[in-house]
Every structure is written in C-alpha cells, then in structure tokens.
Amino acid sequence: MKKKQRNAVYGGTRCTCFRPVRDNKDLRIFFALWPNTLLREQLNNASKSILVERPARRVPDTNLHLTLHFIGNVYRDQLVCMQQQARLVDAKGFELDIDFRGHFRKPRVAWLGCNAIPEALRDRQQQLGQRLRHCDFQAELRRYHPHVTVARKIKSIPEHGDFEPIRWRVEKFSLIESRSNRSGVEYRVIESYKLT
C-alpha cells in the first residue's frame, strides 16, 4: 500500500509522519459545551417553547449542545493532535444565560441562545481555535454565534412561547464524535477538558 507523507504538529512539535493513503477520513468531530443531565432537561423543556410543525423535527435531548468549533472529518493522527492542543487551553470556567431564541433561514434550524454573549465564551472559543491551527484546522472567519440547535428542517419562522432563562455554569468543554445511524445522528463524548 502506498503511503503519503504528512507534516503534523503534536504538542507544539512539528514532525513528519506517514500514513496509508485512504479514500475516507476516519472520524467526524466537533468541540462543544456539553450539558449535564439536569441542564439537558432544562434545555429540552425550553425548546418546547418553540412550536415546531412537520416536516420539521426536534433535536433529541441527548444531542443538545453548544458548538465551539465544528471540525468535520479527520484522520486519527489529526485527532490526536487536536486532543493534545485542547489540553493546553488555559482558561477559567464561566457562566452564561440561555435566555433567547431564534432561527437561521438558510440552514432552516431553530435555536436557543444568549441575549448577551459572555466575553469569556468568545475568549475560550478563540483560544481553542488558535491552538487547533497547529493541527491544520482553520476556524470559520464569520462572527461566532453561539447557540443550541433544538429543531431542524423548519419551513417557516416558528412561533415562540415564553421560557424560563437557564443559567449554565461552564466548567469544561468536550470533544464529540458524530455518528450516523438509522434514526439519524448520535453524538459520543471522546474527551472532556476542565476549565480551572
């Protein structure tokens, strides 16, 4: 089998490594704030304040999260690099309030988010993005818009009801694998990183 040379950075050290040439990358991943059980239940209840009609569908409560960086498909050696860089993020925990809801027309999703985005959230997201550049990843250039997607394939602007604001105490962020199955998509936590 032919092998392809590739430069990579692991823990700040650039090296040349070799891997078999493959048609497909191994894993589909993203970094996110991953809610605990109680918070997940609160988010799920709040999502019901958005009236959803077919063919739209709600996101299962087990899949609710707030994305920091969507990575996409990666090889396993790139995954190792990203894990090492994520461990180097040096930041404190913070709080954010989920107190706002909205929708995106083009991707046709409804979401819950923050009326006022904490500066600490932007800082952690940017710091992580800078570290992931060592792993051949380029963060999106558009303005970061943190949100929790709660419904997909909406055809029109959904009607909104009231919901009680949710205080989210963020003490860690996580690396998540996305897996497709017969019922849709399943997310699995690969590793979590504590914010001191």
| pLDDT single digits (tens) 34-48 | 999 999 999 999 998
Could you say which of 3.30.420.40, 3.90.1140.10, 3.40.50.2020, 3.30.1490.100 is the CATH number of the domain covering 25-194? 3.90.1140.10
Give the pTM: 0.84
- Own/partner contacts of 153-159, CB < 8 Å, gap of 24 or more, are 153/55, 153/56, 153/57, 153/108, 154/52, 154/56, 154/103, 154/108, 154/109, 154/110, 155/53, 155/55, 155/56, 155/108, 157/103, 158/50, 158/51, 158/52, 158/53, 158/56, 158/103, 158/110, 159/50, 159/51
Q: For the chain, which residues make up each domain, given as ranges?
A: 25-194
Q: In the structure, what pLDDT confidence band is assigned to residue 160 with cuts at 50, 70 and 90?
A: low
Q: Tens digits of per-residue pLDDT, 1-24?
A: 444 444 444 444 443 333 433 445
pLDDT of residue 54: 80
Q: What proportion of the chain, given as a percentage, has pLDDT over 70?
A: 85
Q: Is the pLDDT of residue 106 over 70?
A: yes
Mean per-residue pLDDT of the chain: 86
